[in-house]
């Protein structure tokens, strides 16, 4: 019999529950390999060894090299991989989802395929924006009108705060440079937010294209979810960047970096996971709990919580 090398393939019953996992680990400018049942993350400072079965989602940032053996192990343990920009400001590609079942996708498809349930989810999205109002009886036209007024007010308040002339949100998707500085900043900030939302959606096994408010686009659900956070994240950042930038500055880059830095603590990512499960009516027993965001890059060390890591520096 041919001798077998390495650790045996992990069976499903041996895997930790999703709720027990380290939820997301972000890696950039490093090499990822495999030693037995652990992946190793190495850069010029040394090596960190992480048990693969304890990783829920591995976010691969710029400058990351990963070996075939590491991917083999990650696939065996059911870990999700997403190739992203810095701190998740872009979503380039993804492997398998975190879930071993299709329950998220099935629930989403069922809800979006029925006009009543679709309207119910859309109302839940708008209710999250208007926590002090009852929108349960409003039509989609009324909801969109209410949301339009809310966003116009947010734009107006930010323009007044930063003393920026403002008329309306106006941009040309085919010509970024054609927009005013604040409109350029808004476009760049929103694209960065879409990247993070997209990564979370595919990691959960949901479809980025099955939207409840938006429709007809492969990122419809991404736009739905991202709209929940623009008023408190991308819009204030965009107006701040526009107010403090010089004519020669690269507005797009400055905005992207600023949004990237706002993602660092992982709070928004955890909130997105929680909100998607609320919108899709995922039962408590099946929820993915996101308590930890572990980061490992060339700027800071791995944050550990309840897991033993072997470090060689």
Question: Is the per-residue pLDDT at 294 higher than 70?
Answer: no
Tens of pLDDT along 125-166? 999 998 888 888 889 899 999 999 999 999 999 999 999 999
- Say how many C-beta atoms besides its own lie within 10 A of residue 168's C-beta: 7
Instruction: Tell me the angle at which helices 267-279 and 181-204 cross, rounded to the nearest 10 degrees.
Output: 60
Ordered by start, the domain boundaries in the chain are 12-98+288-312, 103-285
Mean pLDDT, range 100-109, rounded to an integer: 83
To the nearest whole number, what is the mean pLDDT of the chain? Answer: 81
Question: Is the per-residue pLDDT at 181 higher than 50?
Answer: yes
Question: Phi and psi for 90 in degrees, rounded to 5?
Answer: -140, 155
Question: Is the per-residue pLDDT at 173 higher than 80?
Answer: no
Question: Is the per-residue pLDDT at 18 higher than 70?
Answer: no
CATH code, residues 12-98+288-312: 3.100.10.20
Residue % of the chain over a pLDDT of 70: 82
Question: Is the per-residue pLDDT at 80 higher than 60?
Answer: yes
Tell me the C-alpha to C-alpha distance, in Å, between residue 80 and each of 76, 278, 290. Answer: 11, 21, 14
Q: What pLDDT does 15 receive?
A: 35
Question: Phi and psi for 279 in degrees, rounded to 5?
Answer: -65, -35
Closest CA relative to residue 263, chosen from 19, 18, 61, 31: 61
The C-alpha atoms of residue 289 and residue 215 are separated, in whole angstroms, by 29
> Are the CB atoms for 196 and 256 separated by under 8 Å?
no
> Are the CB atoms for 10 and 272 separated by under 8 Å?
no
Q: Is 23 exposed, middle or buried (0-12, 13-18, 19+ CB in 10 A)?
A: buried
Instruction: Please check if 217 is assigned to a binding site.
Output: no
Q: What pLDDT does 164 receive?
A: 94
Instruction: Please check if 133 is assigned to a binding site.
Output: no
The C-alpha atoms of residue 304 and residue 175 are separated, in whole angstroms, by 44
Q: Considering only residues 213 and 13, tell me which one the structure prediction assigns the higher pLDDT.
A: 213
Please report how many Cα atoms fall inside a 13 Å half-sphere around the Cα of residue 131, on the Cβ side.
2
**Range 17-20, long-range pairs (CB < 8 A, 24+ positions):** 18/56, 18/98, 18/99, 18/288, 18/289, 19/287, 19/288, 19/289
Strand pairing category for 64-66 and 30-35: parallel
Instruction: Please check if 147 is assigned to a binding site.
Output: yes
CATH architecture group of domain 103-285: Up-down Bundle (1.20)
Q: What pLDDT does 290 receive?
A: 59
The dihedral region occupied by 249, where left means phi > 0, alpha psi between -120 and 50, and beta the remainder, is beta
151-165, 223-237, 257-271, range with the lowest pLDDT: 257-271
């Amino acid at each position: 019999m041919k001798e077998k090398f390495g650790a045996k393939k992990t069976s499903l019953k041996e895997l930790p529950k999703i709720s027990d996992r380290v939820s997301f680990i972000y890696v950039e400018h490093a090499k990822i390999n495999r030693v037995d049942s652990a992946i190793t993350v190495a850069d010029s400072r040394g090596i960190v060894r992480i048990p693969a079965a304890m990783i829920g989602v591995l976010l691969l940032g710029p400058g990351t090299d990963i070996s075939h053996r590491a991917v083999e192990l990650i696939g065996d343990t059911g870990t999700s991989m997403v190739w992203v920009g810095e701190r998740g400001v872009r979503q380039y590609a993804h492997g398998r989802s975190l879930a071993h079942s299709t329950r998220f996708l099935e629930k989403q498809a069922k809800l979006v395929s029925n006009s009543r349930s679709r309207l119910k989810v859309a109302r839940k999205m708008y209710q999250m924006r208007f926590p002090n109002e009852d929108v349960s009886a409003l039509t989609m036209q009324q909801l969109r009108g209410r949301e339009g007024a809310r966003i116009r007010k947010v734009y107006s308040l930010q323009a007044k705060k930063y003393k920026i002339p403002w008329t309306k949100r106006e941009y040309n998707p085919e010509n970024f440079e054609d927009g005013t500085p604040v409109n350029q900043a808004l476009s760049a900030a929103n694209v960065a937010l879409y990247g993070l939302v997209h990564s979370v959606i595919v990691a959960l096994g949901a479809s980025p294209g099955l939207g409840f408010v938006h429709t007809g686009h492969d990122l419809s659900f991404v736009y739905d979810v991202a709209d929940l956070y623009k008023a408190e994240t991308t819009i204030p950042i965009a107006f701040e960047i526009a107010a403090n930038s010089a004519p020669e500055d690269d507005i797009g880059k400055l905005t992207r970096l600023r949004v990237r830095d706002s993602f660092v603590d992982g709070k928004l990512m955890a909130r997105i996971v929680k909100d998607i499960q609320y919108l899709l009516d995922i039962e408590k027993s099946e929820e993915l709990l996101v308590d930890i965001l572990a980061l490992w890059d060339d700027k800071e060390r791995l944050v550990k919580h309840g897991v033993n890591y072997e470090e060689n520096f």
